[in-house]
């Protein structure tokens, strides 16, 4: 049996196809504006990687910001639950999850393999991937390089503002004063870590802690967070897929509740659409 989880986040879309023993395929793509078309495309890519026809997928769960835009999903589940389930499957010892996404950050508590509490920052870009994107643009540094570069700092700059707009102005001011870029980035990471730590502390941080989401790929931010919480954190091998993995795990459980006849009927009713995307630069179509 095969089941799938799709996590359509605000900036990145992830798919996991799994059987009862292992993960068979993972696909990670930028989300873009056309959620429904993207859902069909990433599912096609995942099926090709797994070597499984769509008709063999027994159950599909959608999660994330755009979960309502997956027309072939059998069920929708909130990203909080799915992230918790994915991390718990990978690291059963984890009690606190810090998820740093493109548009929000979350603190999730796990107790005996179940969600016990959570908190979110979804009204301000501070403490999110968007915040770091803005700063990387201002400083002229590639987003994927800012973590490593910040580790070279010997004197982190003091960034007092946690507002994205004011932090951007403060970073520009530090540049004009001749502050090295690595010191500004280290200061930005410290400020971001302080914001995230303050939020997650409200639900009581306990060992072990896992950091997930795009922010987990930033070694400088992870180091700053570890300094705030006072001990090392666990980062999954691919921290972007925990939500999709959790959705796939839930899909596997839902299969057990459904008769074989109903599964066959669901498979007949689901279908993938052939889609064409357009490259804005070349205006050439691609499927």
- Residue 280 confidence (pLDDT): 39
- DSSP E strands: which ranges in the chain? 2-8, 12-19, 23-30, 57-63, 75-76, 96-100, 105-111, 114-121, 209-212, 277-278, 285-286
Mean pLDDT of the chain: 88
- DSSP E strands: which ranges in 33-187? 57-63, 75-76, 96-100, 105-111, 114-121
Q: Indicate left, alpha or beta for 122 from its phi (over 0: left) and psi (-120 to 50: alpha).
A: alpha
Q: What are phi and psi of 77, to 5 degrees?
A: -135, 145
- As a whole-number percent, the residues of the chain with pLDDT over 70 amount to 90
* Domains annotated on the chain, with CATH: 2-81+242-286 (3.30.420.40), 113-229 (3.30.420.40)
Confidence of residue 271 (pLDDT cuts 50, 70, 90): confident
284 pLDDT exceeds 60?
Answer: no
- Residue 164 confidence (pLDDT): 63
Mean per-residue pLDDT for 55-64? Answer: 94
- Residue 287 confidence (pLDDT): 29
The number of beta carbons lying within 10 Å of the beta carbon of residue 221 is 27
Tens-digit pLDDT profile for residues 104-160? 899 999 999 999 999 998 666 556 777 788 888 889 999 899 999 999 999 999 887
Mean per-residue pLDDT for 196-213? Answer: 95
- Residue 63 confidence (pLDDT): 96
Q: Is the pTM of this model over 0.75?
A: yes
Confidence of residue 209 (pLDDT cuts 50, 70, 90): very high
Out of 47-56, 119-128, 149-158, 258-267, pick the least confident.
119-128
Tens-digit pLDDT profile for residues 94-104? 999 999 988 88
């Amino acid at each position: 049996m095969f089941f799938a989880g799709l996590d359509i986040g605000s900036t990145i879309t992830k798919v996991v196809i799994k059987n009862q023993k292992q993960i068979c395929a993972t696909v990670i793509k930028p989300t873009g504006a056309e959620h429904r078309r993207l859902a069909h495309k990433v599912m096609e890519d995942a099926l090709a990687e797994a070597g499984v026809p769509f008709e063999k997928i027994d159950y599909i769960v959608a999660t994330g910001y755009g979960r309502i835009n997956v027309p072939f999903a059998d069920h929708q589940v909130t990203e909080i639950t799915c992230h918790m389930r994915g991390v718990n499957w990978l690291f059963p010892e984890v009690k606190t999850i810090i998820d740093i996404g493109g548009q929000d950050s979350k603190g999730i508590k796990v107790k005996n393999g179940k969600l016990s509490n959570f908190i979110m920052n979804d009204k301000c870009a501070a403490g999110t991937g968007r915040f770091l994107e803005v700063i990387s643009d201002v400083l002229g540094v590639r987003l994927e390089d800012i973590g490593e570069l910040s580790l070279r700092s010997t004197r982190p700059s003091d960034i007092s503002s946690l507002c994205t707009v004011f932090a951007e102005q403060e970073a520009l001011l530090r540049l004009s004063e001749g502050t090295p870029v690595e010191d500004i980035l280290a200061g930005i990471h410290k400020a971001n870590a302080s914001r995230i730590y303050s939020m997650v502390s409200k639900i009581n941080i306990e060992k072990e802690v896992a950091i997930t989401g795009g922010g987990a790929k930033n070694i400088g931010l992870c180091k700053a967070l570890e300094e705030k919480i006072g001990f090392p954190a666990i980062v999954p091998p691919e921290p972007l897929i925990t939500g999709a993995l959790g959705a796939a795990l839930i899909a596997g459980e839902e299969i057990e509740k459904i008769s074989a006849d109903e599964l066959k009927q669901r498979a007949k009713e689901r279908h993938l659409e052939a889609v064409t995307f357009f490259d804005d630069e070349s205006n050439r179509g691609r499927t």
